[in-house]
Structure 1
Amino acid sequence: MTLKTCKAKNHFDLKTWTCVSDDFDVIRLTKTILTSIVTHQNVDNLNLNKLQEELNKQLSGKKFLLVLDDVWNRNYDDWVDFSRPLGASARGSKIIVSTRNHEVAKIMGTLPAYQLKKLSYNDCLAIFAQHSLGTRDFSSHMSLEEIGRKIVTKCDGLPLAAQTLGGLLRGEHDRREWERVLISKIWELPEERCRIIPALAVSYYYLPPTLKQCFAYCSLLPKDYEFEEEEIILLWCASGFLDHKEGQNPSEDLGRDFFKELCSRSFFQQSATDASRFVMHDLINDLARWAAGETYFTLEYTSEVNKQQRFSRNLRHLSYICGEYDGVERFEKLYDIQHLRTFLPLMLLNSRHGYLAHSILPKLFKLQSLRVFSLRGYCISELPDSVGDLRYLRHLNLSGTEIRTLPESVNKLYNLHTLLLVGCRRLKKLCADMGNLIKLHHLNNSNTDLLKEMPVGIGKLTCLQTLCNFVVGKDSGSGLPELKLLIHLRGTLKISKLENVKDVDCGMCTALPSVGQLPSLKHLTVRGMSRVKRLGSEFYGNDSPIPFPCLETLRFEDMQEWEDWIPHGSSQGVERFPKLRELHILRCSKLRGTFPECLPALQMLVIYRCEEFSVSVTSLPALCNLQINGCEELSVSLTSLPALCNLQIAVETSFMVTYI
């Protein structure tokens, strides 16, 4: 960090950055700025007047720095409306606006605009070398320097071009591959055929065909739209880009490989504001639209209700930004596109929920070639039964809607792969029987607190990988035994309404279930099982060759009668808990058994109030944090612990440490 950067940070009381892009929505921008200043405040239901009053209050007398990135709006009145509360700030506050439009600079600026120049040749060369070779120069690869310099010359000082082409050649040290990029005819495309930087076209040209498909699909994302990895992968799955043959890895795993590859080539980059999200640079977005052709179309945001945009007869995939009210006029030309496969409304961060005209849904459900259909974020309380006519549908997103029940006809969607119900806070009932949805991989029903029960037949959905909330049924619904067949579940599983269990399977249990057989389990907590006295082979999964292959954290709490922990009895050399990073044993007062012998990845060990526990902590090469508290008789031998950097010991009576 430079001295100038430190001075800038210390100079302002408040600092905030927001991406504006095409949609200069005064309410959305005010919400974004306000929530970045006051993170705990809910501003979703405030009107513009209340929002500006609150922002005025927060800025009053404070010196702030506000960055408005990528502004396109040339409406001076919008700028006046937006800037009203900013005048309450202290003298010396600054607003920085970035734009690619000279008219915007004239309208918003009080100082002359600063024109960003292209990078110097040497800086551009350093960026290219960093992304292609992992170093800032060619000292370790002198044979590639000459041709590398020629490629950088064609980048014309544009950092994104240097970064993208560097990513294309990442780890590739064969001179012939570099020459192939240099002499590619894509560089020579006339501007009327390719309105993007030729360097980016080259990077697309050398993608494998399957990756080209996946990247072109991303043309549906609006500029500056922040997306999650899983969101894109599920759309690729639904569109058939990741279909796998018998015996191969699941399509989702293939999708993660594709996503990682596109990231490594700089087509996607991590969001600056949220590490869990990604964005595409505007020029990369242009590249995707160029690659997609007329089979993809993004319906641009417009405040003009009657403005029409033409749809090609070859259109297969459509996206648009949700409006506050989307009426018949917006989709009037769409109903003739019988081969449409994707209907994808998208919401920008901090945008409000929208309304969809009632007459639109029945017409959309006549588009029977749909694979992807989303109504995310619309204030819709019910779906017509005709949703069951979408026999090819693989992806249905109803997240954030106000639906109360799923129509029974959803059970006819035999090809459904993904059903998203995130945040459907009024949802009380799924279909009475979901047993026909045998291809369903993902049922994301997180934050559906009013859901009464899981329907009958949920155990038949043996392909399920995602089931966020299993609500135990009382009479007609599914009970806990249905879970035993869902062996592919991964991620987070919440089990609610346990009061509906007839024979209650925890306070009376004398043994733990065979959770070691769950191949994707990452986090396990065992708490309050007061009748369990020993952990043995049943816990590991009896004959399981590698128990707990993915487990990362393991916690035992309040196991009052637990006495013995018997090691896994498989053959010598088999790793137990190969990925376990954290082990916590808390308030297990009678435990005195054997400690697992081989924990190669363990970094943290916490033992608290295990008064009789005697353990030899040895051969833990990765252990760096050891905490022991409230143990009356505990003997610990610190042997071969090269990574240990934090040792905390608080004992009440006797304690012995042996250093070897």
Structure 2
Amino acid sequence: MADALVSKVLEELISIIASEIEQEVSLVVGVKKEVQMLTTQFQLMKAVLVDAENKQLKNDAVKLWMQKLKNISYDMDDVLDEWTTAIQKSQIMGDERVSAKNKWKVRCLICFSCFRFREVGVRHDIAVKIKDLSERLDIIFDEQRVFNFVSFQKETKQEVERPISASFIDMTKVQGRDQEKNAIVEKLLTESSQTPSPHIISIVGMGGIGKTTLAKLVYNEDKLKTHFETRIWVCVSDPFDEIKIAKAILESLTNGAPNLHELQTILQNIQQFLGGKRFLLILDDVWEENSAKWEQLKDCLSCGSPGSRILVTTRKEIVASAMGCIDIYEIGQLSVEDSWSLFSQIAFFGWSDGERKQLEDIGRKIASKCKGLPLAVKTLGSLLQSKKSKKEWQSIMDNEVWKLEKAEVDLFPHLLLSYNDLSPPLRQCFSYCAIFPKDHLIDKQKLIESWMAHGYLKETPRMDMETLGEEYFKHLASRSFFQDINRVDNNIPLEAILFGISCTCKMHDIVHDFAQYITRDECFSMEVRSSVEQSTEYIRKEARYSRIVLAEEGSLPDYFYDVKKLRGLVIQSKGGSVIKAVLPSLFSELTCLRSLDLSCCDIEEIPPTIRQLIHLRQLDLSTNSELKLLPEALCELYNLQTLDIGDCNNLEKVPDGIGKLVNLRHLHNSYTIDALLPREIKKLSCLRTLEWVNAGDDREEAFSLDDLESLNLLQGLLALMFLGKVSNVDEGKKAHLKKKKGIDTMHLYFHGEEGNWRINHDEELLEVLEPHPNLEVLNIVRYEGTVFPGWIMSLINLRHLKLVTFTNCEKLPPLGKLPFLEELDLVGNYRLKKLGIEFLGIETSNQHEISSSAVAFPKLTRLLLRKLEEWEEWDDGMNTDGEEDIANVTILPCLRSFNIFECPKLKLETLPYYLVRKLPGFEDCSTKEETMARARAQWQKVISSLHLVSYVSSFLSSYFIGLSQ
């Protein structure tokens, strides 16, 4: 982490020097020499950081030196940020004055610009801090000479001892892998002419999950010993050395160490031994992501006979993909019982039944702490093997795993390999996650915004911070640092998608313990249950991140405010009076904060002292339902990137001066529809997120539809509510929604007095609100028009569509043509009488001919039809001669869920055969007619038994119309 910190400070120093030269102005008086010297010293220390990182693992003096360097880097970052903030504040205030005096000429602007820099130049306090830091850095720079660090031009990974694996295993010591072993053995034995030879299969999972153990079980399976003529085991590890790996393969084939040095010669010998043979090659612990390094060896191994297999174990999905794996098998955690069996096997080895029985209950709890990670189970089991008192076992139970010396020696080095494989910024991103409690559901977007706030994501002309954050998240997830990832495309319901919830994840408890171990000097958690409670832990004054849990009677102890260097703070509190008393001191004392989470704290008021948090980038005030006003002082936080006021449903307005927050990128305001959004928001050219807009707010100072024109960087969710005044169609045109290609979710809520005038108005307004074709989710509510605009069919990337209370529409667009539509909800219509081939996107050119695409609704998996009160039939596509016009068209091939609710006039017998044949429990009879007759008979039986025709479909949904695969 020190490398990333030093690199960041260096960039800031170099940027300031460049700015000073460009502007020919001394931004802070008298520190030019110090800034240049600091830059040189940081550059020299950066060059030796790789060696220092390696040596600190075994040398406490080096570790202490590294901690000093990190502390001064943090302090330098704070001072430089204060410097650039002062410049920015001066510019913003100057711009305001210029705007107020619009008669000024260009000459006046230049003079005023000089005035601004003179104003910054007198910042004596910044100059004093820089000179002090320069003196501190001199001392650290002198100290490094004692350690004789070696300078590296390129980054090298830290030296952590890597275990070397062999194929031998004691089967009796393995628990709970039989099912996974059998599944992989089946894949290895299955012959297929469709896959290339050799077929490559990978086992992927986090460090310590048991990949190598599973590979050993597979390698020693009797079926494979007879099936393959040759079996080879090679531990690859890192770095990936083609010659070394090829030699290992050849040595296994010849039972000798070949005295060969050229790759070409070695590969030729391998081909001689493997040519025409069916072989199994295990490549254990592969790290190399570059497919080019693997290509020559892979080509050589293609000499084997059909049925040859390669089994790879790796921690990274990207490695499996680079190697051309056909099947990727993600290994799971041990079950609770298997964990207990493995734990008791080790912990109670050699114990008597009486000794074991006394500690079995607490032993089960300790085993469960490992959350199915075999390495952790083995580590804790071996730790307790020699401890036979309940007090000793209880101590292990009550302690955090990351605090145990045994974990540091036997468990964490395995995870350290994965950690060291990350780039320095990725290490920072992972380490930050120690601030969350265990088993916490992490919102991906909020996590990325936190990474942004702490400077872990560097924007480039090619990639913005949010996109880079997405890439970092994928990297960490592919290495199993995150798990239980819920994505839009599988587990998130449509309602959640509509309101911007895109992706969540968790961390395995042991991975979280490792994150706490990595940040043990910088991150701490505290739970305060009463106002007089004292913490039993020593809190380092140099700590940078903290999570505080305040009970209703709890209050932050005085010594907490001594931790003045905090950069990230999460407070959980359920007492409004408690937090009200805390906030003024918190804002005054913890002025280095970059991110502050005060969500769900029952906050009623934000004190104006918040202006002192000049470094703040992320402020989460969400779900404070008693919060009514935000102070104008909040608009002095010029570095603010993210402001979350979502679910503050009593908030009356957003501060008028929000236009000053020139760095604001994300304004989360879901469920704050009554809060006045000022027109100043249109000045926020960096804004990416503005979730809910009341485009019908009739207050003069309110943000209006045409104010969206300048916000072309908007992305994610945009919900437009037309509540209040009649929205101007011309304003809608000026919004230019079609230019906003980053918006992937749009919610349009029409509302107003009923009347015929609304029909034309809604149609005209909806027509001009055409979004970019990138849109993936569309929700239209209370639309009074009679037809939908043609642009709906241009949404070729649309995946989720929900039309609610579209009361006047008698027919629907040909939605079956949308190529990627996965979910369709049609709810609330009083005029729609028939669905048919037009709805499917099948066009009839004359009475007997059909022109259509080959597939209708090719990707649709879920269809909901509800409260279609006049709907009578679903046209089954039969022509006047009783022949099926659409016999050659594939319809709804992916449908898994089909639900009908509250459609009282629907004639169930009109449901077409292509739907009926998908229903569970209805196998095709000898003819289509017999199948339909059986289905209709069953429906009539259900109707008769219920005597509630209007709700029959609700019953059918759970009985047989609800499809599941």
Under TM normalisation by the shorter chain, which class is it? 0.5 to 0.7
- What residue identity is the alignment partner of 2:533? V
User: How many residues align structurally?
Assistant: 498
Match of 1:427 in 2: 651
For residue 232 of structure 1, give the secondary structure of its aligned residue in structure 2: helix
Q: 1: distance between equivalents of 2:748 and 2:815?
A: 17
Cα distance in 2, alignment partners of residues 247 and 166 from structure 1: 26
Match of 2:707 in 1: 482
Structure 2 CA distance for partners of 1:598 and 1:306, relative to 1, 3 Å: closer
Quote how far apart the aligned CAs of 1:355 are: 1.9
Q: What code does the residue aligned with 2:175 have?
A: S
CA distance in 1, matches of 2:409, 2:577: 36
Which residue does the alignment assign to 1:81?
none
Residue 632 of structure 2 aligns with an amino acid whose one-letter code is E
Task: List aligned pairs for 1:555-566, cutoff 5 A.
Answer: 560-562=785-787, 565=790
The 5-angstrom pairing of residues 167-178 of structure 1 reads 170-171=320-321, 173=323
TM-superposed deviation, 1:287 = 0.7
Offset at residue 367 of structure 1 (A): 2.9
Task: Note the C-alpha offset of 1:598.
Answer: 5.4
Cα–Cα, structure 1 residues 327 and 277, in superposed 2: closer, same or farther, change >3 Å?
same
In the TM superposition, what is the alpha-carbon distance from 1:584 to its structure 2 partner? Answer: 6.0
Q: Is the 8 A contact 2:543 2:566 kept in 1?
A: yes
Distance 1:200 1:496 in 2: 49
Match of 2:569 among 321, 337, 343: 343
In structure 2, what is the Cα distance between the partners aligned to 1:172 and 1:270? 24
Residues of 2 paired with 1:192 and 1:361: CA distance?
41
Note if contact 1:397-1:420 (Cα within 8 Å) is conserved in structure 2. Answer: yes
User: Which structure has greater helix proportion?
Assistant: 2
Q: How big is the shift at 1:439?
A: 1.6
- Indicate the residue corresponding to 1:292 in structure 2: 519
User: 3-state SS of the aligned residue for 1:147?
Assistant: strand
Kept in 1, the 8 Å contact 2:524–2:546? The answer is: yes
Q: Distance in 2 between matches of 1:383 and 1:567?
A: 44
2:175 to 120, 125, 130: 120
Deviation at 1:320, TM superposition (A): 2.4
The answer to whether the Cα contact below 8 Å between 1:343 and 1:370 also exists between their aligned partners in 2 is yes
Q: Which amino acid in 2 is paired with 1:288? A: A
Post-superposition shift, 1:415? 1.0
Superposed CA offset, 1:30-67 (max 9, x none): xxxxxxxxxxxxxxxxxxxxxxxxxxxxxxxxxxxxxx
Q: Distance in 1 between matches of 2:421 and 2:749?
A: 50
Matched, 1:254 2:468: yes
Contact 2:576 2:603 in 1 (8 A): no
What residue is the counterpart of 1:131 in the other structure? 204
The structure-2 alpha-carbon separation of the partners of 1:336 and 1:124, relative to structure 1 and needing over 3 Å to count, comes to farther
Residue of 667, 671, 680 corresponding to 1:457: 680
Counterpart AA for 2:506? V
- 1:211 CA displacement: 1.6
Q: Is the 8 A contact 1:435 1:457 kept in 2?
A: yes
Cα pair 1:168 1:203 within 8 Å, conserved? no
In the TM superposition, residue 409 of structure 1 has moved relative to its aligned partner by 0.9
Q: 1:532 to 1:287 in 2, by over 3 A?
A: same
* Contact 2:712–2:740 (Cα < 8 Å) also in 1: yes
- In the alignment, structure 1 residue 577 sits paired with structure 2 residue 806: no
For residue 490 of structure 1, report the CA deviation from its aligned partner: 3.9
Distance 1:294 1:540, change over 3 A: same
- Please give the per-residue CA displacement for 1:176-225, whole angstroms capped at 9, x wherever unaligned: xxxxxxxxxxx9x9959657443222222222322211110011122233
CA contact under 8 A between 1:421 and 1:443: conserved in structure 2? yes
Match of 2:820 in 1: 601
Structure 1 match to 2:621 = 398
- Cα distance in 1 for partners of 2:816, 2:176 equals 57
The residue type paired with residue 467 of structure 2 is D
Corresponding position of 1:365 = 588
Match in the other structure for 1:333:
559
Cα pair 2:732 2:765 within 8 Å, conserved: no
Letter in 1 for 2:568: T
Contact 2:567–2:595 under 8 Å retained in 1: yes
- Taking a change above 3 Å as real, the CA distance of residues 164 and 236 of structure 1, as seen in their structure-2 partners, is farther
SS in 1 for 2:516: helix
Question: Which of 203, 215, 229 in structure 1 is aligned with 2:430?
Answer: 215
Amino acid at match of 1:485: S
Q: Per the alignment, do residues 554 and 318 of structure 1 end up closer, same or farther by CA in structure 2, a change over 3 Å counting?
A: closer
Q: 1:214 to 1:532 in 2, by over 3 A?
A: same
* Alpha-carbon RMSD: 5.2
- In the other structure, the counterpart of 1:417 is 641
CA distance in 2, matches of 1:651, 1:381: 52
Whether the 8 Å contact between 2:234 and 2:283 is mirrored in structure 1 is: yes
In the alignment, does 2:543 pair up with 1:319? Answer: no
**What is the CA distance between 1:411 and its match in structure 2?**
0.9
- The structure-2 alpha-carbon separation of the partners of 1:425 and 1:534, relative to structure 1 and needing over 3 Å to count, comes to closer
Which region of structure 1 is more displaced relative to structure 2, 575-584 or 362-371?
575-584
Which residue identity does 2:456 align to in structure 1?
Answer: F
Deviation, 1:414, is 1.1
For the Cα contact (< 8 Å) 1:326–1:357, is it kept in 2?
no
Q: What are the superposed Cα offsets for residues 425-452 of structure 1, whole Å, 9 maximum, x if unpaired?
A: 443233122111122122223334663x
Could you tell me how far 1:337 is from its partner in structure 2?
Answer: 3.9
The one of 178, 184, 202 aligned to 2:417: 202
Task: Report the alpha carbon displacement of residue 413 of structure 1 after superposing the two structures with TM.
Answer: 0.9
Output the TM-score relative to the length of structure 2.
0.43
2:459 corresponds, among 233, 240, 244, to 244
Once structures 1 and 2 are overlaid, which stretch shifts more, 293-302 or 460-469? Answer: 293-302
Superposed displacement of residue 118, structure 1: 7.3
Q: What is aligned with 2:598? A: 375
Which stretch shifts more, 320-329 or 236-245? 320-329
Partners of 1:488 and 1:364 in 2: CA distance:
32
Structure 2 vs 1, CA of residues 164 and 510 (structure 1 numbering), >3 Å: closer, same or farther?
closer
Q: Does 1:437 align with 2:661?
A: yes
DSSP 3-state at the match of 2:505: strand
User: Match for residue 551 of structure 1?
Assistant: 776
Cα shift at 1:305: 0.1
1:658: how far off?
A: 14
Kindly state the Cα deviation for residue 259 of structure 1 after the two structures are TM-superposed. 2.3
Counterpart CA distance in 1 for 2:683 and 2:744 is 21
Distance 1:582 1:165 in 2: 38
The answer on whether the counterparts of 1:514 and 1:538 sit within 8 Å (CA) in structure 2 is: no
- Cα offset for 1:354? 7.6
Structure 2 segments unaligned to the other structure (5+ residues): 1-171, 185-201, 206-210, 237-281, 286-311, 326-378, 380-403, 493-502, 752-757, 843-851, 879-884, 915-965
Cα distance, 1:119–1:404 mapped onto 2, change above 3 Å:
farther
Amino acid at match of 1:267: F
Q: Is the 8 A contact 1:510 1:531 kept in 2?
A: no
Quote the Cα distance in structure 1 between the aligned partners of 2:412 and 2:513.
Answer: 10
Bigger drift between 129-138 and 395-404 goes to: 129-138
1:461-512 Cα offsets, whole Å, 9 max, x none, are: 233333333343513333333233333334444455832x3x5427x99999
SS state at 1:396 partner: strand
2:235 counterpart residue number = 147
Give, in whole Å, the separation in 2 of the partners of 1:534 and 1:426. 32
Contact 1:163 1:266 (8 Å CA) reproduced: no
Aligned residues of 1:328 and 1:357 also touching (Cα < 8 A): no
- Of 530, 544, 547, which residue of structure 1 is paired with 2:759? 530
Determine helix, strand or coil for the equivalent of 1:386: helix
Structure 1 unaligned segments of length 5 or more: list them. Answer: 1-116, 153-161, 176-186, 569-574
The code of the aligned residue for 1:310 comes to Y
Structure 1 residues 498, 143: closer, same or farther in 2, change over 3 A? farther
Instruction: Provide the C-alpha distance between the structure 1 equivalents of 2:405 and 2:802, rounded to a whole number of angstroms.
Output: 62
Q: Show the counterpart of 2:935.
A: none
Q: What does 1:224-235 align with in structure 2 at a 5 Å threshold?
A: 224-235=439-450
Name the counterpart of 2:890: 641
Q: TM-score, normalised on structure 1?
A: 0.61
In structure 1, C-alpha distance between the alignment counterparts of 2:601 and 2:769, rounded to whole Å: 46
Whole-Å separation in 2 of the counterparts to 1:295 and 1:277: 25
Cα distance in 1 between the residues matched to 2:670 and 2:474: 26
Pair 1:559–1:284, CA change in 2 (3 A): same
